[in-house]
Amino acid sequence: MKKCRACQGTRFYSVLNMSNNALVNSLISKENLEEPEETYPLEVVRCEKCSLVQLKKPIDSNKIYKDVDYLYFSSDMPGLSDYFKEYANDLKDRFLSVGDFVVEIGSNDGIMLEHFVDKCKIFGIDPATNVVLRALKRGIPTLPLFFNERVGKQIAFEWGKAKVMYGNNCIAHIDDLNGVMKGVNALLTDDGVFVVECNYWGGMVKNKNYALVYHDHFSYFSLKNWADIANKYGMQVFDAFVTPAQGGSLRVFMGKGAITMTKRCLELITEEVATKLNTQEVATKYGIDCIAEAAKLFETISNIKKEGKVIAGYGAAAKGFSVLKLAGIDERHIDYFVDDSPAKQGKFTPVSHIPVVARNERPDPDYFFITAPNYAETIMAKEKDFKGEFILCDSTVI
């Protein structure tokens, strides 16, 4: 990367270097275990000009979404449909009338779009072909492409302009951020609203959370970043707040023209200034804190393993693989992973080749390492009869 994907700046400062990593969602079939595996540099840097925290060397998105089967399906995630239903109802109540057009960028298998069909015309765009096939099976019209200006213009020509556009945990996955914003401008009505929900840099700093650092996530946004990006494209951020999704996500609302800013948006802007969130000082401390957290986790799991205990990973989740890699935890420490997704069962983790099995395929381990911190409470409630203990990403043992 030679230029910042938001402001085209050219000076960057290192935040966290996680060396070479495999793609987190590239689980391997048994017959391919002997084939060579690629790993890629994973370093987070901060743009001096606009403060956006981002990957230094983003890889070709086709390697994540097109060249392999993408293994994340929204409908497989516990509680996500209910979360999206509440989210969709908020958008319907605030911004939409009967017959309005709603477009989702990164729509996955259509789990949120289906909550609009009672009121609106819907359309999804997602680059992962296998995911789009599942959406089409559910009756959700979906285009298997990366969203950009050309696609935005084509949809507007064939379907009309959208009153609401949104993208959830996907805009951070797109390298061509300017192409996305140009596409939004082309497709959104003059009185329309564009909503983004993404990982929040403020939450990552506060929680010393490095689980979100992997190749799929090209950018780590603050509210200031989105205000700058919106202004660049003749839009204005008018509402924003932090949601409980993914352990704390930022939901940002922006539109064309002058719109009164909400109190909660102003409060979040003020908080970012007060905490110096968008400074290199905070970014540097975050990197140091993450390395310390990873070392603490390594010590916890190593000590348990020295006692001869069996440790299983609960969920073959992307977040967990990032945590394990930085902590230096591999097949020497984790005996197997359990996962409820049929798409992941029977496969193996990249590089370390740890098997992924269904929950009922192995006897209970002594410990479950919960790889998705945002689902820790859900998992522990589901496993109330489990006789062993749980290890969390922050090294807590419960």
Residue type, 267: E
Residue 72 pLDDT level (bands cut at 50, 70, 90): low
What is the residue whose two structure tokens read 């984790």?
Answer: 334
Q: Where are the domains of the chain?
A: 74-279, 282-391
Helix (H, G, I), strand (E, B) or coil at 44: strand
CA distance 289 to 283: 10
350 or 270: which leads in pLDDT = 270
Residue 42 pLDDT level (bands cut at 50, 70, 90): very high
Residue-averaged pLDDT of the chain: 92
Phi, psi angle pair for 139, to nearest 5°: 85, 20
What is the residue whose two structure tokens read 């859900």?
Answer: 378
Q: Is the pLDDT of residue 69 over 70?
A: no
CATH fold, domain 74-279, is Rossmann fold (3.40.50)
Q: How many residues does the chain have?
A: 398
CATH of domain 282-391: 3.40.50.720
Helix (H, G, I), strand (E, B) or coil at 303: helix
| CB proximity list for 116: less than 8 A, separation 6 or greater | 88, 91, 92, 96, 102, 122
* DSSP string covering 365-382: -SEEEES-GGGHHHHHHH
- What's the chain's Rg over C-alpha atoms? 21
CA distance 243 to 361: 35
Residues of the chain with pLDDT > 70, as a percent, come to: 96
Residue type, 142: T
CB-based burial label for 81 (10 Å; 0-12, 13-18, 19+): middle
pLDDT, mean of residues 151-156: 97
Q: What is the pTM of this model?
A: 0.89
Q: How far apart are the first and last CA of the chain?
A: 42
